[in-house]
Structure formats: C-alpha cells, structure tokens
Structure 1
Amino acid sequence: MNKLLLEILLQITGITAASGIHYQNEKLYVVSDESDYLYEYQLTANELKKHALTDNPQELRSKQTKRDYEAIAANGTDLYLFGSGSKPNRELVTQFNTQNQAVQNFSLDLLYPSIASFAEINPDELNIEGALFRGDDLLLFNRGNGANNKNFIVTVQGKNFTEEFNIFIQDIKLPQLNGINTGFSDAVLVGDKIYFLATAEGGSSTYNDGQIAGTLFGCIDTKRFKVKYTEVLSNDKKLEGLTVLNQDKKNITFLLCEDSDDSTQNVATIYKLNIKK
C-alpha cells in the first residue's frame, strides 16, 4: 500500500471531543464522548443541528457523569450510539431514528459484564470504541488500553443485545506505534473487510486519557478475523471516528474525526482519506 495521505476536509464549530461519525445522505452524524447530544451536520447546507439524547442534556459532561459515547453504528434508518462500558453509567446504548428523530435508551448492564467475563478481563478494563452491524450480527470493538492490553472483537447474536443474546470473542493482535501499544478506536465494514483505526496512548487506564502517540489504519479479513495490514496514519493525532463517504470498484474514500482530549476546543476536525481496495 502507498503511504496514506490524510487531508482536512472541514472543521465543524460547536462539537467538542468528537469520538465517532457516520455519513448518510449528505449528512454527517457525530457523537462526542463528553456530550448528551447527537450532532447532525448537513454538508450541502453547512448547517449543524443537535439532537438531545436524554432529559436535561448537557453539552459538556464531567468525567464522573458522562455517558462516554465512543461508537456509532447504522442499522437501516436507526443509529446506535454505544457507551464505552468503562464505568456503570457508561453501560448503555441509545437508538436514534434518522427519519423521525425518535430516541430510545437501553441499558447494557447484562451485555457488557458478560463480555468482560467471556474475555477474562475485569469489568473496568472494558472499553468499547467501535461498533458495526454485519447482517443480523452486532460487532463491538474493545480498545485494549487496560492492564491486559486486550484488543478484541465481540460478535453479538440473538433477538436483541440487552437481554437475549449470544456472544463470541476474537482476540486481535495489534502492533505498537512509537513504542506504545495500540488499541481499537473505530471500525467500519466494507464488503468482506473491516477497516479500522487503532490509537496509541500512554498509560493503562480505560478511564483517564494518556499522552497521544498516533494512529494506525488497518484492515481485517472477516473470513478468518486476521489483520491483513496496518499502516501509520498519524504520529501525533488521536483519530476516533471512521465512516465511508463513497467508493467505486477500485477506491474507497473515508471520513475521520479527531479527539484531541482537550475539552476547551469547540471544533471538530473532519479528515478525508482515500485508499485503494
């Protein structure tokens, strides 16, 4: 693969700590790990809307009370926003309908502890940073920045993922970047391949942010759940959101968002990345 070129596409004022994005119908949906809103940016009109996801929403939540939305996944006209699970108040998923803007919140206090148990990690090491739907299955991506550095993909099957489900776990070995372990920060499905981001961050806490040491871009073969390749995307940026803008037979264009871990920055930078299939 040729060297990856990351380009700034736009900057959206009014969003802090962007942690996940989804592109659909000329709209870019953005979640923040510090906010109780889902942000909707209309690309053609350059207009930002925000949708409250809870009663009495706050734009900037404290670390102790925030839901810590770290992943967004689309299933039909519904978007699902997942809390990281690193604390009990973060064990939730919010369902948002893009047609009528209806919001429903569901507890994952059965699913997340079950995942931690099957993965043989302590509950506070769980850190869900990516999510996608593959047919009827839900895939969740755990960022291995806990004490055991366990990156893994959880496949959730069943009638729903709140009460009636089966889970399967695939451990994924990711390389270091600048001498620091990397961990999943988002993923998206294209055909039979999963494209993902993995960030390097100093420290071994799923709760406290560490020093940013860069981001990898990679690809996983879904037939064997093996990493096909990884490439350095940045040596100093923490890129946490990944979505497909467009594709043809030979190329894919992704959009990415950056989390600078600085709550004083009220601007979300959106990047564009082109790769060959």
Structure 2
Amino acid sequence: MEQSVLLGQSALLAQAAQPLSLCLLAKLRLSAASALVCQGPSLWLVADDALSLQHYSLTGAWLAEQALLPGELPEDAKLRKKLKADFEALLLLPDGALLALGSGSTKRRRRGCLIRGGVVRVIDLGPLYLKLAEHFHELNLEGAVVHGGQLLLAQRGNGVGGENALVFLDLQQALDDLDSGQLSASALLRILPLQLAELDGVPLSLTDLSVDPAGRLYFSAAAEATDSSYLDGACVGSVLGRFDQDFNIVQLARLEPRVKIEGLAFQADGRLLLVADADDPRIAAPLFALDGLGDRLL
C-alpha cells in the first residue's frame, strides 16, 4: 500500500511537467519566516526564531510588529535555537483571533499565543503535545488551519522515522480549551499518517496547511536533507499539493525557485501567498505569490 501511494505521488509530480513559478513580492523584516495568515487586507507572519507577530500589507509592505513573549533572544545561533519558542504555525480562528503555535519539538516549544483584539494571551500546549508525543518519535508541528469544522495540525516528518501526519482536533473543544489558557488532550480526535514521496532523492515533509476560498485543503512540503526535527539540513526544494475530501493527495507540483517553503495563505480572491526560510539569519525571508492556481496545479 505504501509503495503504491508513493508511486502515485511520483506520477503526479511527473505529470506536472512544468514547476510552478513563484513571483517574488518582497523581502521581509525577518529571516526564518515560518507561517502566515491573510485576513482581509492584512498579512500576519511569525518566524521560528523570533518572539513577535509581524503585520504587513498583502504586497509585503511593512506595517507593524507586536511582541508575543517578553524578552529578547540571544544573537548567538546555538543559544538562539536552544531558547527560541519555535513558532511554526499560525492560524485564523472563526472569531477573527490569531493563534501562534510552537512546534513541540522541545519542552520550551510547547507554548502558543492567542492574539485577540491586540491582546496576547500565552497558551499552554503541554497537555495536548504530551499526548501527541506518545504517537510520534519526534513531535514537530509545523502547520495549522481550521477546516471542515475541525482544527487540523500538520506533523512534519523530518525527524526519526519520517512521520508525516495530519492531526485532527475537535474545534469546539479546542476553542473552549483556549478560553482556559491551554489545549487539552481531550480535543484530539484522530491522527492520520501520511506517506510522502521524495524530491531529488530527499524525503518530503509537511511544512504548512491552508484552505482556499472554495474550501479545498492544500499543503506545502519541503525536501530537507536532515533526520532531525531540531537540526536544519540542505533543502533541495519544495512542493505544493492538494488533498481531496478523504485526505488523499490528488494534486502535487514542484515549486520554483528551489527554496524551503514554510508558510501558505490564500487571499479572499484565491491568490496564494507563500514564505520561505533560508535557515540563515543574514538572509531576509522572501514573500512569494502564485496566481491562477486552479489552472496550473494539474
């Protein structure tokens, strides 16, 4: 079964003979961009090595920044990696609030931040993440979105075992939990393991989820040469894919340029915005756009 799934994905990549070419919109005021959300005319971003929420226009023009956690991270790369909150996912809740989630890959990374009306509330993700850690060799959540009355999380399989998966939470339970300052294990509905193909011989792993205006669920995945959810590796490229209503992968295409795409967000008009992380603090994260997706992802 696993072999047929991988062969099917390889066929989808082969069918999409022309990679999807991304249009560079702007260079952002952060380097390790990890997630973004479109909300009307606003674009919200988080980075996995920063403690703030950044606000841009949909064209990438800088607007503002808001602290999510107090203090500052050290400049030293090793210390910064050790101490960062690792905000890898950002999602828009039904009431318009934003929720930033840590990856859970270390104890320090089990915090989230709920931003409602400009007020930040720190969320304890430990109860849910400790339960999820029982199911994965290395927990590493890198995407989140509300879809079909549920809250979906993307487990990135770039660690031991290559465990990519979709995690389904009961949305109402999650919202009730957030009101009490946490996410609980009782919100967990199910875990769906995913088998992803390779890109140029490197395994793909999930990096984000997004829903288009028609309600279809898309994902990004990167091929990063590492077997650790903590240590970065060389990235040979990324893909964009779509799930059907049964969460089978039915569309898949390579993205150009060959960067590590970490965040996806659809505008109301169907335009897709994407951000990449170069894993180098000296390089500003690029903001890309992809238009006419329905005609090009075949």
| Residue matched to 1:105 | 122
Unpaired segments ≥5 residues, structure 1: none
- The Cα offsets for residues 151-201 of structure 1, whole Å up to 9 and x where unpaired, read as 100001124362342330111111100100000011102334211100000
| Residue matched to 2:277 | 259
Displacement of 1:41: 1.1
Q: State the superposition RMSD in angstroms.
A: 2.0
| Residue matched to 1:143 | 156
* Aligned 1:39-118 pairs, distance under 5 A: 39-43=54-58, 46-58=61-73, 62-75=80-93, 76-97=95-116, 100-117=117-134
Q: State yes or no: 1:128 paired with 2:147.
A: no
- The Cα offsets for residues 114-171 of structure 1, whole Å up to 9 and x where unpaired, read as 1122x3x23xx11111000125421000111111111100001124362342330111
Larger mean Cα displacement after TM superposition, 66-75 or 152-161: 152-161
| 8 Å CA contact retained: 2:21, 2:257 | no
Among 21, 26, 49, the residue aligned to 1:10: 26
Larger mean Cα displacement after TM superposition, 158-167 or 133-142: 158-167
Among 216, 221, 245, the residue aligned to 1:198: 221
TM-score (norm 1): 0.89
Distance 2:26 2:256 in 1: 18
- The Cα offsets for residues 27-70 of structure 1, whole Å up to 9 and x where unpaired, read as 11110000000000134793331100112244867011000011
Tell me, what secondary structure is at the counterpart of 1:115? helix
Distance 1:11 1:28 in 2: 14
Among 150, 170, 183, the residue aligned to 1:162: 183
Displacement of 1:6: 0.9
**Letter of the aligned partner of 2:211 in structure 1?**
L
- The Cα offsets for residues 64-91 of structure 1, whole Å up to 9 and x where unpaired, read as 1000011110013211111011001001
Tell me, what secondary structure is at the counterpart of 1:16? coil
Among 30, 43, 49, the residue aligned to 1:34: 49
| 8 Å CA contact retained: 2:25, 2:59 | no
Among 214, 219, 242, the residue aligned to 2:264: 242
| 8 Å CA contact retained: 1:133, 1:139 | yes
| 8 Å CA contact retained: 1:34, 1:59 | no
**Letter of the aligned partner of 1:212 in structure 2?**
C
**Letter of the aligned partner of 2:251 in structure 1?**
Y
Distance 1:229 1:47 in 2: 33
| 8 Å CA contact retained: 2:73, 2:84 | no
Larger mean Cα displacement after TM superposition, 169-178 or 187-196: 187-196
**Letter of the aligned partner of 1:82 in structure 2?**
L
Distance 2:272 2:223 in 1: 20
Structure with greater helix share of residues:
2
Equivalenced residue count is 264
| Residue matched to 1:183 | 205
Among 246, 249, 253, the residue aligned to 1:224: 246
TM-score (norm 2): 0.83
- The Cα offsets for residues 185-236 of structure 1, whole Å up to 9 and x where unpaired, read as 1110233421110000012000000111100110011x21111121111363
Change (3 A) 1:59 1:253: farther
Unpaired segments ≥5 residues, structure 2: 1-15
Change (3 A) 1:227 1:43: closer
Structure with greater strand share of residues:
1
Q: State yes or no: 1:269 paired with 2:291.
A: no
Larger mean Cα displacement after TM superposition, 135-144 or 154-163: 154-163
What percent identity do the matched residue pairs reach? 30
